[in-house]
Amino acid sequence: MHETILKTLDGVYLFCIWAAGIAIFFMSIIIPIGVFARYVLGTGAQWPEPIAILLMVIFTFIGAAAAYRAGGHIAVAMLTDRLPTTLQKICTVMVDLAMGMVCVFGVQYGTQLSVGTMGQTLAELPWLPVGVTYLPLPLGALLTLVFVVEKVALGSQHERAVVRFDHLLEETAPTAAGV
């Protein structure tokens, strides 16, 4: 059961990585298109900026969930590394608790913001409800909350092969018996 949960969360982690990667890929294509249209063709298109901003929001909030699981989030360890082991563990619990509370806040108020603005549209993209542009906030907070609960219940997973991308090396590396 424990391994099934971890494999499922590995899939969630990979979803976050792919979603963030695809968002930044398309953003890096859309921004030059907007610049080209404005400065070379002399006709500024209305859609590149809001789409690029939406993709940045997706990259930020979904990517933050993946960064949390990978242990790649910002941490100031100068003080905590000098504390005794017991106090380090207390600090870890306090950080996990604070992170969980921030995530619950993000899910609750991000959802209210998204639902509350679904009736509005962007001037540049009248087919896109404003609430859709806010959806990455509660989704990213929910995914981060899942990874916070995972860390508290199952321990840190930042050394898993899927997080370190070692799974590709492990799958293709020759075994000692096969050499």
Dump the DSSP string for 64-122. HHHHHHHT-S----TTGGGS-HHHHHHHHHHHHHHHHHHHHHHHHHHHHHHHHTTT-B-
Looking at residue 155, its pLDDT comes to: 87
The pLDDT, as a whole number, for residue 133 is: 92
pLDDT along the chain (179 residues), means of 10: 89 94 95 89 84 94 93 76 89 92 97 95 89 95 96 86 63 53
**DSSP string for 129-165:** BHHHHHTHHHHHHHHHHHHHHHHHHH---TTSHHHHT
**Alpha-carbon gap, residue 122 to 107, rounded angstroms:** 23
How far is residue 88 from each of residues 2, 4, 83, measured CA to CA in Å? Answer: 26, 30, 6
Give the CA dihedral 66, 72, 73, 78, nearest 10 degrees: 160
The pTM score is 0.84
